[in-house]
Amino acid sequence: MHETAALCEAAARHLLNPSGPATPDLRDFLAWLGCPVPATPGPAERNRALLFRAAGRFTRLFTLDCPTAPGLAVFGAEVPVGAGLASVSGVGASLIEAFEGCVGEGVELLSALESPADGAHLGPPPSRSEHAEWLARILPEGAAPKAWIELLRLDAPGSAWLPAGLCLRHPQPDFTPPWPLSIGCAAGPTPEAAALHALLELVERDAAALWWRGGQHGRPVALEDPAMAVAAPLIARLRQGDERRQSWLLDLTSDLGVPVIAAISAGPEGEGFCCGLAARTSRAAAARAAILEMAQMEMAHAVVLAKQEESGPDVLNARDRALLRRYHGIRAGDCALLHPVGPAAPGAGLPADPAAAMAMLVSRLGARGLPVLALDLTRQELGLPAMRLVVPGLEVEPSRTIGGRLRAAIARTGGGDCHTGGIALM
């Protein structure tokens, strides 16, 4: 990894100073990644240089192949976290896109680690919390968080205090978070872009919960929809003629009016369920991101199946077994939630500009009584903006919690378990 770290550092320097010397190894590395080096660096090159520098902190970087989507680019990495290692990954239609996604996920992970810089925002439990009812529902019974952290409220003046364990990764947490702390945490080229990415992920997971656990059916995606103009050529590019799987889209956009698309694939007999989800400012962008995530899930299942075939079932961990249970337990012909109901209902989406999109989405959530809380997790040593967003009242998937929105969906539909057999989506 030492050689890769040196190449990443050299790549960062070269992007910022293209007129400087570059070794043949560096030029080959950048050409292999498909990373352009303009004569005059701009914001994109400065952001990419920071990503290269962050990659130099990782323990291991590697690429993977997806048997059913040979056109998918996949990067994986191991990130040092305390005394151990955490795995991150990224996918794309090109190596540089996958590399940036993988390193960005690693930056999110490192940014969420509790650090001395968070001390100014930490404090003891408040005498009262305006989110006490929500906290009572999501925290484990008997949990008494000792450290709390102040978040800025975006939908109204002021701030709010939440248990630090809902926002920061601590080596010895005083309770188990109700969902993975990767949800609602994002890095980006600007604080606004990072915040929007994090908030869109929360909207995506809310839609996923209403669909999978709430039994709320998705709608079809019309052939005339901009999402379809992206989907068909992307699938063709990824599959490269491989016909072992069939893929389709579902529109999971909820009452929040933010485009949320699910991309689903299965084998010819409906076996081998895989799914990708994405919320984006446009339906086309949501479809693209969902298809890439779906292909990533196909690759993950292929890895686990190969692991089982090579070494037997005893070597599988809990995550591997959960993947196989979903892969084998959900069949397209038997699960009505995998198929659209009703007419297509395309919407307008959000502005492309991150600041404008954030303003519109925060206003929309606030009008529905959903507060938007933000914590700046940018770390000086990484230099890349990172944000944590929390929206009390939105559902989260995966999670053990059931809030008002999910409870209402279950009351309307009878819930999703009758279709899924209680098999978790994630």
The string of DSSP codes covering 175-225 is: S--SS-TTTTEEE-SSHHHHHHHHHHHHHHHHHHHHHHTT--PPBP--TTS
User: What gap in Å lies between CA 287 and CA 308, rounded to an integer?
Assistant: 32
pLDDT band at 3 (very low <50, low <70, confident <90, very high): confident
Q: Reduced to 3 states, what is the DSSP secondary structure of residue 294?
A: helix
pLDDT tops 90 at residue 347: no
> What's the pLDDT tens digit per position in 108-153?
999 999 998 888 889 999 988 889 999 999 998 888 899 999 999 9
DSSP summary character for residue 113: B
User: What gap in Å lies between CA 320 and CA 309, rounded to an integer?
Assistant: 13
Closest CA to 250 of 238, 260, 236: 260
For position 2, what pLDDT does the model report?
60
Compute the residue count for the chain: 426
pTM of this structure: 0.96
pLDDT band at 280 (very low <50, low <70, confident <90, very high): very high
User: What gap in Å lies between CA 55 and CA 107, rounded to an integer?
Assistant: 9
For position 313, what pLDDT does the model report?
85
- In sequence order, the 6+-apart residues with CB closer than 8 A to the CB of 420 are 212, 330, 335, 337
Q: Reduced to 3 states, what is the DSSP secondary structure of residue 302?
A: helix
Token couple for 26: 């560096």
> What's the pLDDT tens digit per position in 228-274?
999 999 999 999 999 999 999 999 999 999 999 999 999 999 999 99
CA 61, 424, 409, 287 dihedral sign is positive
Question: What is the mean pLDDT of the segment spanning 384-388?
Answer: 98
Percent of the chain past pLDDT 70, that is, above it, reads 100
| C-alpha distances in Å from residue 408, one per residue of 209, 351, 395, 420 | 12, 30, 12, 19
Q: What are phi and psi of 277, to 5 degrees?
A: -130, 150
**Distance from the Cα of residue 356 to its chain's centroid:** 21
Q: What are phi and psi of 307, to 5 degrees?
A: -60, -45
| C-alpha distances in Å from residue 163, one per residue of 121, 125, 382 | 11, 8, 25
Closest CA to 296 of 282, 278, 314, 313: 278
Question: What is the mean pLDDT of the segment spanning 272-282?
Answer: 97
Reported as half-sphere exposure (CB side, CA atoms, 13 A), residue 167 has a value of 28
pLDDT tops 70 at residue 101: yes
Residue in the block written with tokens 């933000």: 374
> What's the pLDDT tens digit per position in 283-328?
999 999 999 999 999 999 999 988 888 888 888 999 999 999 999 9
For position 1, what pLDDT does the model report?
55
Gyration radius of the chain's alpha carbons: 22
For position 4, what pLDDT does the model report?
86
| Helices (H), ranges, 75-146 | 95-111, 132-138
Token couple for 345: 């209902």
> What's the pLDDT tens digit per position in 150-178?
999 999 999 999 999 999 998 888 899 99
For position 28, what pLDDT does the model report?
96
Cβ neighbours around 37 below 10 Å, total:
16
Token couple for 338: 């995998």
For position 199, what pLDDT does the model report?
98
3-state secondary structure 334-346: CCHHHCCCCCCCC
